[in-house]
């Protein structure tokens, strides 16, 4: 399996927001990123990527929904990422 990366993580997060993948798919990828030390995000994108990563890392699908961000909250974090990416260039 290739080492987890930002591009695939972003794709999975967007797929989750679109209802194409389950929370646990992104949660598992976030764990894999942590295990393989793939969380050294570019400085200009660090804050929004860390926020997205932590959102999926800290809760799985079995946790009470009150402990997970909802789709609108994830979408806001994605918007923050998009703004940072537009300002500083792509990941």
Tens digits of residue pLDDT in 27-71: 999 999 999 999 999 999 999 999 999 999 998 888 777 788 999
Alpha-carbon distance 91 to 89, whole Å? 7
Model pTM?
A: 0.89
Contact 60, 23 (CB under 8 A): yes
Alpha-carbon distance 21 to 35, whole Å? 21
Residue whose structure tokens are 């930002």? 6
For 37: left if phi > 0, alpha if psi spans -120 to 50, otherwise beta; the answer is left
């Amino acid at each position: 399996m290739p080492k987890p990366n930002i591009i695939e993580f972003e794709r999975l997060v967007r797929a989750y927001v679109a209802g194409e993948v389950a929370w646990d798919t992104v949660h598992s990828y976030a764990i894999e990123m942590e295990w393989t030390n793939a969380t050294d995000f570019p400085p200009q994108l660090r804050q929004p990527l860390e926020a997205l990563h932590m959102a999926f890392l800290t809760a799985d699908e079995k946790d009470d929904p009150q402990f997970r961000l909802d789709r609108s909250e994830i979408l806001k974090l994605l918007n923050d990422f998009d703004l940072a990416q537009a300002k500083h260039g792509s990941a």
